[in-house]
Amino acid sequence: MHPSAPTSLSLTDQLALQRTRLANERTLLTYVRTCLALVGFGLALLQFHPERGGRLGYTALAVAAVVLLVGLLRFRVHRRRLAACERRD
């Protein structure tokens, strides 16, 4: 939402949209944090126990990629919905 753009939303609704937008960003950062933890766990397993923890380490890396992908997709969907709410009269 741009300050110069006229909008018919009340101040309360504008603030609610801003809070929701910030919550969406915090949720994305939570997905990224979880992804980084899984990457660290997977790499540690591969580094310290390559023969015994190899499969689990690679699985953790794959799960990290899936978690990041899901987080990014959810973020984009919610961002589009919020943008649609801002444009709505």
- What would the pLDDT profile of 14-42 be if each residue is shown by its tens digit? 899 999 999 999 999 999 999 999 999 99
CA–CA separation, 8 and 10 (whole Å): 6
pTM over 0.85: no
The DSSP symbol for 2 reads -
Report which residue type is found at 41.
F
Taking Cα atoms as reference points, which of 55, 63, 56 lies closest to residue 38?
A: 63
Q: How many helices (H) and strands (E) does the chain have?
A: 2, 0
What residues have CB less than 8 Å from 49, skipping those under 6 apart? 57
